[in-house]
Amino acid sequence: MMSSDELRTSFSDLVVGSPTQTEGTTNSSGDASTQGGVQVSCFTEDLHDVTLHFQIVRLSKQIYVWVGCNTAKFGHLYAAATTRPDNRVSVTSVLGGTSDNTGSGMARRLVLKTGLNIVLACNIPKDSPMLEAAAERKLVEKLKGLGYVRPAAGEPNTSTAD
């Protein structure tokens, strides 16, 4: 099992095949979805005496998110997307049991905020709802900073990754 320091080092060494985009850079059009580019962003936050590690991978029509608590363990995997005909959000557990739904609500809300399909791997203890809420706030804050969150009604659209 990796320690938090090893995980931070691994994040800084992360390389994805060409063309790669990392935090703070954009491709020539400024839009990963039009050219099939991949944008990867990794960061670490210390919340509630716990170290949370985040990885966001933006693909053309979906976002993959991993949230790890203190270790590099994968955790439960959820897929969420809007469904027809009424555009409700459906979430399914891809890996992990159904008794521990930590992350399923987060995946649902991320679809509503981004308008994109979400694949979320979540390794947050199931008995820590405050930690899950804090992790979601940090994640949404980062997604807004990256331009992945749809503006609320009445807000100007400053997104670079619609």
- What value does the CA radius of gyration of the chain take, rounded to a whole number of Å? 16
First to last CA, the chain: 37
**pLDDT value at position 64?**
97
What pLDDT, in 10s, does the model give residues 113-122? 999 999 999 9
Which CATH number, 3.20.20.70, 3.30.230.90, 2.60.40.10, 3.40.640.10, labels domain 4-146? 3.30.230.90
CA distance 13 to 154: 40
CA distance 139 to 154: 23
CA distance 78 to 105: 10
CA distance 50 to 126: 14
How many degrees, rounded to 5, is the angle at CA 91 between CA 88 and CA 97?
A: 160
What pLDDT, in 10s, does the model give residues 5-44? 665 565 555 544 433 334 433 333 344 444 568 999 999 9
